């Protein structure tokens, strides 16, 4: 069976996802002063909590599923999810990754201008979105699919651009629960400093390729994956290219690991004939394993 993995980014996390986090990572979060028993939606919108929280949930899920599923043909992670994709492939351990997520969040918050945000824009051509964004001091941060983009920058720019995008015919605008202009040049200093931190890690052989969220380039060594992890902080993501590359690798089944099912829905739109589900669609790990195995 050819299994491909997608790891969720920020946005779908809820306090109840904390119940899925295993004891080792739960303790690592507690050591970092993150008490998942008292976390609420407001706290979960903050990078400093969301990033290690989501990573811990993803890696706990993967630790339960890994022995029961075939080795993946590839993995791709959406923004923060690329951290989990790299860890699942063996670039660093789960505990190392959790501390890296804490550092990633700190550096991003430190570099981000005050009162920034991200806005999803659906139904418009890229050139039109890019033009209105630039005139408002924003930039395209993510290409999710044709006519589905995320722009990022100062909140004032988002407030100015939103009515113009609506007037231009956008079918939907969604203000994301993220307060950082991720994947734009505004976070260049965070990317530089995170790269320095990642350079301290040894180069490890990956168990399977990890697709860079920037351009879908497959990393087959730990060093290549780590270099892409640093660059994506300040570089636009081409998630549409990632999904297309996953499809071209001819998976029999695709599984999204992490909060929500947004990535599974995007892949289903691209490839309606390829079975795809998200872990959040199931009530148990056994249900996930049974569904994947049913496509063997």
pLDDT one digit per residue (tens) for the chain, 296 residues: 999 999 999 988 999 999 999 999 999 999 999 998 888 888 888 999 999 999 999 999 999 999 999 999 999 999 999 999 999 999 999 999 999 999 999 999 999 998 999 999 999 999 999 999 999 999 999 999 999 999 999 999 999 999 999 999 999 999 988 889 999 999 999 999 999 999 999 999 999 999 999 999 999 999 999 999 999 999 999 999 999 999 999 999 999 999 999 999 999 999 999 999 999 999 999 999 999 999 98
Please check whether residue 180 lies inside any domain of the structure. Answer: no
Model pLDDT, residue 39: 87
Nearest CA among 24, 151, 41 for reference residue 95 = 24
The neighbouring-strand residues paired with 118 are: 152
Last residue of a domain, one of 126, 150, 175: 175
DSSP per position, 239-264:
HHHHHHHHHHT--SEEEEESSSSHHH
Q: What's the pTM value of the predicted model, to 2 decimals?
A: 0.96
Report how many helices (DSSP H) and strands (DSSP E) the chain contains, helices first: 12, 11
Among 152, 175, 198, identify where a domain stops.
175
Q: Which residues lie below 8 Å from residue 287, measured CB to CB, with a gap of 6+?
A: none
Mark whether 288 and 167 lie in a shared domain.
Answer: no
d(CA 272, CA 267): 8
The pLDDT of residue 43: 86
223: tokens are: 């060093």
Domain assignment present for 66: yes
**Distance of alpha carbon 26 from alpha carbon 18, whole angstroms:** 9
> Does residue 107 share a domain with residue 32?
yes
Domain identity same for 192 and 68: yes
189 and 166 share one domain: no
128 inside domain:
yes
Same domain, 40 and 126: no
* Domain end residue (candidates: 124, 146, 175): 175
94/209 same-domain check: yes
CATH number at residue 122: 3.30.70.250
User: Considering the domain boundaries, does residue 253 fall inside one?
Assistant: yes
In a domain, 241, yes or no: yes
**165 in the same domain as 24:** no
| Structural domain range at position 52 | 3-111+185-293
**How many structural domains compose the chain?**
2
Residue 3 tokens read as 């299994």
Q: Is residue 68 part of a domain?
A: yes
């Amino acid at each position: 069976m050819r299994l491909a993995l997608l790891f969720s980014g920020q946005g779908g996390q809820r306090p109840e996802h904390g119940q899925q986090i295993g004891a080792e990572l739960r303790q690592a979060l507690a050591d970092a002063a993150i008490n998942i028993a008292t976390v609420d939606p407001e706290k979960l919108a903050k990078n400093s909590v969301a990033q290690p929280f989501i990573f811990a949930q993803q890696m706990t899920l993967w630790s339960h599923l890994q022995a029961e599923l075939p080795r993946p043909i590839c993995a791709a992670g959406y923004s923060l999810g690329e951290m989990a994709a790299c860890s699942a492939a063996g670039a660093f351990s789960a505990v190392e990754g959790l501390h890296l997520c804490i550092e990633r969040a700190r550096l991003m918050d430190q570099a981000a201008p005050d009162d920034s945000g991200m806005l999803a824009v659906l139904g418009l051509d890229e050139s039109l979105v890019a033009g209105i964004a630039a005139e408002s001091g924003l930039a395209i941060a993510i290409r999710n699919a044709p006519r589905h983009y995320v722009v990022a920058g100062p909140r004032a720019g988002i407030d100015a651009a939103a009515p113009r995008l609506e007037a231009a015919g956008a079918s939907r605008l969604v203000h994301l629960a993220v307060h950082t202009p991720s994947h734009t040049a505004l976070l260049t200093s965070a990317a530089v400093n995170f790269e320095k931190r990642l350079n301290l890690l040894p180069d490890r052989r990956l168990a399977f390729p990890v697709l860079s969220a920037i351009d879908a380039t497959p990393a087959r060594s730990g060093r290549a994956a780590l270099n892409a992890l640093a660059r994506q902080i300040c570089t636009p993501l081409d998630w549409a290219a990632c999904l297309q590359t996953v499809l071209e690798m001819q998976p029999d089944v695709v599984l999204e690991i992490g909060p929500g099912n947004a990535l599974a829905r995007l892949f289903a739109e691209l490839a309606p004939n390829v079975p795809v589900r998200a872990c959040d669609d199931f009530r148990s790990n056994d249900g996930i394993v049974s569904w994947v195995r049913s496509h063997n």
